[in-house]
Structure 1
């Protein structure tokens, strides 16, 4: 199960905080489908094909800071164990354009991850960390992630979304360790 994090509503659609939702939409699009409302779990979800098998791609319909309930509800509904959940999210500690993968760990101040960890009963899920860079100057992190990408970033945004979607698929197909070796290596 791959979950892309973000906030609902048009005012958040193109913001850094919604990169996870953008990746989820890309994964659904690759399978020729779109995310549909799954009312029982308060998510938008779709079944896609990754590596020849089915996988669920979803986004919570809640705000980022309370995504744990919908993620946990969908995992239970789909009979998916927490260690088989992959969460795609924005990460301020990674430069724009880079993608890093890990299992477990802390939230790094990311309230969406805090809520998911609480709802799933622990941090033992995989994270696809999509780099959005640090805020300029003294800008607050919360304000930065809720701003749209800059014009220069938008020129590379489709590539970043595709890279993050590739990374999520690689975790499903090849496993976390192999995907880390591929996506953590310097790119030419």
Structure 2
């Protein structure tokens, strides 16, 4: 089962709405669902919250170390509470997934993500779970840094928020350790279809010329 949910992002109001903070958005939503509040925890270098689900403690964590030192926070809490890497889910922004989609995976490389890179180093392994929230790619590698540190367009943010809401439905399975079920829920959930245009009385549905 997952005992520690980590959302990755950068601290400070100037980064709050940027693409790199998608992990924070997800864990904030989970905290609301579980009706818990984050509090600063100096020992874990971040904001942490604890919930009890079916008699078991569950931790939520938002490292406040800046992205490239996220592992310092994750490892501190995991080691103190003896949480194994395979019991950790890290939620982060993903360039190679489009906004509105999400992917669950176990292990693998950090693929250049600085937050994952440091978590790998601090845990000494890449064998933990990741929930990859799509933010899309700018199309040019040289623009990646500016892309992740900027706010998404309105429709992109709405798509990411939809993905957050949908993937939260997998939390009971994650908590129960039913990882195949959780993967199926996350990977088969589809963005809502756009609503058809409203027809006025007498409209035959043919678009007007523009």
Same fold (TM over 0.5): yes
- Quote the Cα distance in structure 2 between the aligned partners of 1:93 and 1:167: 22
Whether contact under 8 Å (2:37, 2:49) holds in the other structure is: yes
2:9 to 3, 6, 9: 6
Aligned residue for 2:183, secondary structure, equals helix
User: Corresponding residue for 1:78?
Assistant: 81
Does the alignment pair 1:128 with 2:131? yes
Structure 1, 34-43 or 172-181: larger mean CA deviation: 172-181
Q: What are the equivalent positions in structure 2 for 1:23-172 lying under 5 Å apart?
A: 23-50=26-53, 53-136=56-139, 140-172=143-175
| Deviates most, 22-31 or 154-163 | 154-163
TM-score by length of 1: 0.91
SS of the residue corresponding to residue 188 of structure 2 reads coil
DSSP 3-state at the match of 1:59: strand
Q: CA deviation at 1:137?
A: 5.5
Paired residues, number: 188
Looking at structure 1, the residues matched to 151 and 123 of structure 2 have their Cα atoms a distance apart, in angstroms, of 30
Contact 1:102 1:128 (C-alpha < 8 Å) held by counterparts: yes
Gaps of 5+ in 2: 193-210
CA contact (8 A) 1:86 1:168 kept: no
* Matches of 1:71 and 1:158, distance apart in 2: 24
CA distances 1:82-104 after superposition (whole Å, capped 9, x unpaired): 11111000000111111100110
Given that 2:99 and 2:160 are in contact with CA atoms closer than 8 Å, whether structure 1 keeps it comes out as no
User: CA 1:12 to 1:47, structure 2 compared with 1: closer, same or farther past 3 Å?
Assistant: same
Are the structure 2 counterparts of residues 76 and 46 from structure 1 closer, same or farther at C-alpha, using a change threshold of 3 Å?
same
In the TM superposition, residue 178 of structure 1 has moved relative to its aligned partner by 1.7
Displacement of 1:154 in angstroms is 2.9
Cα RMSD for the two superposed structures: 1.9
2:26 is paired with a residue of what secondary structure?
A: helix
